[in-house]
Every structure is written in structure tokens, then in C-alpha cells.
Amino acid sequence: MMKLRQRWLLGLIILVPSLWLSILFIAMRGGGGGFRLESEEEQINLAKIHRKVSADYSLNSDESKESSEAEREKNRRAGLPKDSTLYFVPQEHPKVPYIKVKDRRKFEALFRDFPSSYELPELTENDFLVRFREPQKRNKIWEKFHQGINRYEMYSYNDSELIETYMNYLGHTKILRAREKSGGTQVKLFLVFIDGGEALMKPWRVPRDYETLPDHYYFADIERHTAEIAFFHLDRILDFRRTPPITGRIFNMTSEFYQRSDKSLGRSFFRSPANNLCFMTNCDQHCSSSETPVCGNPDRIEGSLAAFLPPEKSAKRKSWTHPFKRSYSKREKASWESDPSYCKRVVMKEHPYNSGRRLLDIIDLSILDFLSGNQDRHSYNTFHMFGNFSTIIHLDHGRAFGRYQTDEMSCLVPLIQCCVIRQSTYKRLQILQRNEYKLGDVMRESLSTDLIAPVLYEPHYDALNRRLDIILVEIQKCLAAADLLEDVLKSEPSIEDYNEPEPPKEDHHNEPKIKKNTGEEEQKEIKNNVNDDFDF
Ligand SMILES: Nc1ncnc2c1ncn2[C@@H]1O[C@H](COP(=O)(O)OP(=O)(O)OP(=O)(O)O)[C@@H](O)[C@H]1O
Ligand SMILES: [Mn+2]
């Protein structure tokens, strides 16, 4: 016979560990979002089920519970982060209220009243990036997008239906997998949707009215997901179509990232001191300089989602150093910054800027960069298979739209120094200066339908109008100084007139002045420079 005290002790010995074990088990099955919920096998099964019911994949699980649109709208903004942990907003300027967008009158008028000013030649099979074996069976929206990418543009002027559908798809489709995206220095995730589509996610870091601080260098600037979205709209409105579609979206940290993460991303999740769910990827620059993780509030986070281009193995990219690349150092300046004749003396004499369309593409890009204040333009890509007579791809705009009170004239140096511009671009800029199609208004309207609208802080729209006036004044200056209009305003170069030059012979005494062929090397070099500069 056990004594009462012994029985008590035995009971405690059995009860405590089993209680502890069951708490652990419940937590692992999904309590509080701190653990992974599904095994790999369960996830695969889930994927199969989702494929079957893909018709209703546009509803997130937590969204489906919400009954009305109004309720959803109210909940949508609740709980989003308001203040950045590290970057504060200087308050010396007054808060500017957002202008409410009632309709998209100017945006619609622009696309209705004017065709693209850029005349596309007849496209042949060789002008398309992807050729599926059975194209008629490739009906997913991302497949249609891939099939449309060509030598001249990512999507066509008239195909706004495809783009709007794609943006809607990006904003709503169920996420199957999430992992960290390597390359570059900023935190970003590579996401796979249940129908096999892919996207690049950049998270919220700072509030919309945040301005890059006066003493912050462009290479130390934190990235903004809103800038990625706005740049896509700007590129589209300016008639370039060289940026893949990008939209905003509010994510659930647990169900859309954590439960979908690969091992390495999953391991980086934790609960912050404020009890928010956060992750911290293997970032270089943004981690070493700020140690700020990406956090939900407590579980929701805003981000941008960019349509992913076809994979490198089927659509190889060529990486180029931008001819007007900055020094990425606090102490040095790039040659073009102190030599006003740099474009004519160096750039315009070198392949591929001395013939074809490349220089005109660089000028178009400098116009976008000046309008958006993007100083972070170190390299650019082209699609390998198109050779050098092809559009450049516009990617990586997280550091655009960083200031609205001041204009960064150095972004316009390619136009100011080279004094050439596509006739079609000039025409579009003139249209966008008119009151009926005013750039700032068209941008506000265009962005108003985004899921995280208002995307840009209100003063950015005035800045766009102000900067457009500056660009047109600079073009006037070029025209006034030129003998002939054609010296400045260039008609569209044609592929028939373009001859690819012979590859240069190995001659070490005659190194090109603009460094070429960059890619990973380039990224390393920039990181080294930046990190060198930080350690002082
Ligand atoms: N939409 C896309 N489709 C396919 N690949 C992409 C896309 N966006 C980015 N990439 C690839 O991912 C790389 C990194 O992306 P991105 O340049 O935006 O990152 P980042 O961290 O902001 O870079 P940086 O440190 O230079 O600012 C790009 O160089 C490009 O190769
Ligand atoms: Mn970037």
C-alpha cells in the first residue's frame, strides 16, 4: 500500500511530463504561428488539392471568412505597421493629405486618345523570348505573359487586359512555396504560386512619407516596396513597357510565408520583443548596417510582388555595367560626374552605345530614374538571345521615390550630356505635360487601383510634374544648341540597319573605358565597395 504522499508524488511525476509534451505537440500543430504546421508531404498533398480547386484560389483562407467588401477594407488596413523601427520621418514639413481618386479619367484618356508613340516593326518568331512546344495549351496568365515578351517590350500597349488580369492574379493567388531570393543586397522572397507561377516579393520597410535622410548615401538607402510598384506604373505610362508587372499585396506572415517556407527561411523566423512574427534572411548590406528584421504586425505585412521573368536557363540574361554608374563609395566620384564631355567623348564612341538602340534605351532609363529619383543604377540586363539589338530590362527600383522635396539632377546626366532622345519618348513627355493627361494625375489614377493604394505619398505626384518640366527644359537646351533637330530627336533605329560589330580582339593595351560584362562579379564588387566604406 502506497502512502498518500507517495501517491501524490507518483501522480506529479506522470502528469508534469505529459502536460509538457501535449503543450509542445499543440504548439507544433499550429499554435501562435511560431512553428511549421505542415510536413513536406502534407504540403504536396495540399498542392494537389489546390490544383483541383484552383477555380477559387483567389481567396485567402482568412479572407474567405470576411463577409462584406467594406469589412474586408476595414480589416485590410488594421494592424499594419505605422512606424519603422530604425528610420524615422523628419517632421519639419507639414503632413500632406492624400487626394482621393474618384475615377481614372486622365489615365483612360491617355491610353484611349494616343496609340503608342513607339512603332513596333512586324514581329517574327525570332523576336519572341519563349516558344512553348504546345502554345495553345499554355493558358495560365503567367504563361501568356511569358509568351508575349519580345525583343522590344515585355507586353504590348494594347494588352492592358492581360496586364490588369496579371496584376489581379499577383495580388490574390495562393502561395505554395516561399524562399529567400539571393542576388542583390536587399531582403526579398521568391514565391511560387499554386499554379506554378512565380514572383519576387519585397517587404514593407518604411512609412510612405519617409524621405531618404540628407546624410544617407544612395547605396545605404533602405528599399521601398512602393517604389517598385510605382516604377512599373511609370514605365508603362511613359510607353516603355520594359518592367515586368508589379503589384502590392498584404500578406499573412504565418500562412503565406512561414508555413510555405523552405528550411532555411523557416529557421529565420522568430517572435520579436513586441510579439510580432518576424524573419531575417541571409542579407548582407541591410542586415549588417541595420539589423532590422522583417516583421508583421502582428502577423500581417505589406509588400510588392513582381512577375518573375522566364528562368535564366531558358532565357539567359546578359549583364552590363551601366555607362553612368555611380562610384558606390563616399570618397570617390565616377568620371561622368566631373567630366561634362564624358558621354560624347567616351560613351557614344563605344560599343554598344555607338550604334543601334542601346544609347536611346539608356536615355529613356535616365528619364525614368530622374522622374523617380532613382540613383541606384549600377547595372542592367538584356536577354542574351536577342543580341544587342533589343530592349534593356528595367529591374530593381526599390530605391526610387526616396525624396519628393528635392530633385536629383545627376540622374538626368545621360540626357544632358549626350543630348539625344527618341522622338517617340519626347512626344510622350509632351503629352504628359498637358493638363488633360498630366503625369502626376495619371500616375495617381493608375496607382489608385492597387491593392495597397494609396501607393505613393501625395507630394511625389507634384514632384513628377515638376521633374517632367525640368526634362523638357533640358531637351529644349539641347535643341537650341544643335544644328539640326535630328541631331537631338532620333527616329527609331531599325534592326535591318543594324550590324553587330565583330567581337573585339584580345588587346590588353586597348581596354574599353566602360567596364563590361558584370553580373555576379558586379554585385560582389558593389558589396565590397559599400562594406569597405562602412568600416571606417
Ligand atoms: N521580376 C524578376 N524576374 C526575374 N528575375 C528578377 C526579377 N527581379 C529581380 N530579379 C533578379 O534578382 C536579382 C536581384 O533583384 P534586385 O536587383 O531587385 O535585388 P536588390 O537586392 O534590390 O538588388 P540591389 O542590392 O542591387 O539593390 C536581379 O539582379 C535579377 O537577376
Ligand atoms: Mn535594389
Model pLDDT, residue 514: 58
> Among the ranges 34-38, 63-67, 68-72, 324-328, which has the highest mean pLDDT value?
324-328
Nearest CA to ligand 1 atom 8: 395
The residues annotated with a catalytic role in the active site are 376
Model pLDDT, residue 216: 82
Q: How many CB atoms lie within 10 A of CB 326?
A: 20
pLDDT tens profile 383-434: 999 999 999 999 999 999 999 999 999 999 999 999 999 999 999 999 999 9
Question: Strand, helix or coil at 165?
Answer: helix
Question: Which residues lie at CB < 5 A from ion ligand 2?
Answer: 396, 398
Instruction: Pick out the residues of the known binding site for ATP.
Output: 186, 202, 223, 306-309, 396
Cα–Cα dist 310/386, whole Å: 15
Nearest CA to ligand 1 atom 12: 183
Model pLDDT, residue 330: 87
Report the run of H or E that residue 77 belongs to, with start and end.
helix 69-77
Q: Tell me the pTM.
A: 0.81
Model pLDDT, residue 473: 98
Looking at the predicted structure, is the pLDDT value of residue 82 above 50?
Answer: no
Question: Which residues approach ligand 1 with their CB closer than 6 A?
Answer: 183-186, 188, 200, 223, 244, 306-309, 376, 395-396, 398
- pLDDT band at residue 466 under the 50/70/90 scheme: very high
Which cell numbers hold the place of 372? 523617380
pLDDT tens profile 136-158: 889 999 999 999 999 999 999 98
**Range with the poorest average pLDDT among 9-18, 356-365, 502-511:** 502-511
Looking at the predicted structure, is the pLDDT value of residue 4 above 90?
Answer: no
> Parallel, antiparallel, or unpaired for β 421-422 and 489-490?
parallel
ipTM above 0.90, yes or no: yes
Taking residues 515-534, what's their average pLDDT? 41
Model pLDDT, residue 355: 94
Give the ligand with the smallest distance to the CA of 380: 1
Looking at the predicted structure, is the pLDDT value of residue 348 above 90?
Answer: yes
Question: Strand, helix or coil at 510?
Answer: helix
For a mutational test of ligand 1's pocket, the pick from 395, 525, 529, i.e. the residue with the most ligand atoms closer than 8 A to its C-beta, is: 395
pLDDT tens profile 208-237: 998 988 888 888 888 999 999 999 999 999
Model pLDDT, residue 391: 97
Q: In ligand 1, which atom is closest to the CA atom of 307? A: 1
Q: How much is the mean pLDDT over the chain?
A: 82
Distance from residue 440's CA to the centre of ligand 2 (Å):
24
pLDDT tens profile 8-36: 666 656 665 665 655 544 444 333 333 33
- pLDDT band at residue 529 under the 50/70/90 scheme: very low
Which cell numbers hold the place of 21? 509534451
Instruction: For 392-454, give the secondary structure using H, E and C.
Output: CECCCCCCCCCCCCCCCHHHHHHHHHHCCEEHHHHHHHHHHHCHHHCHHHHHHHHHCCCCCCC
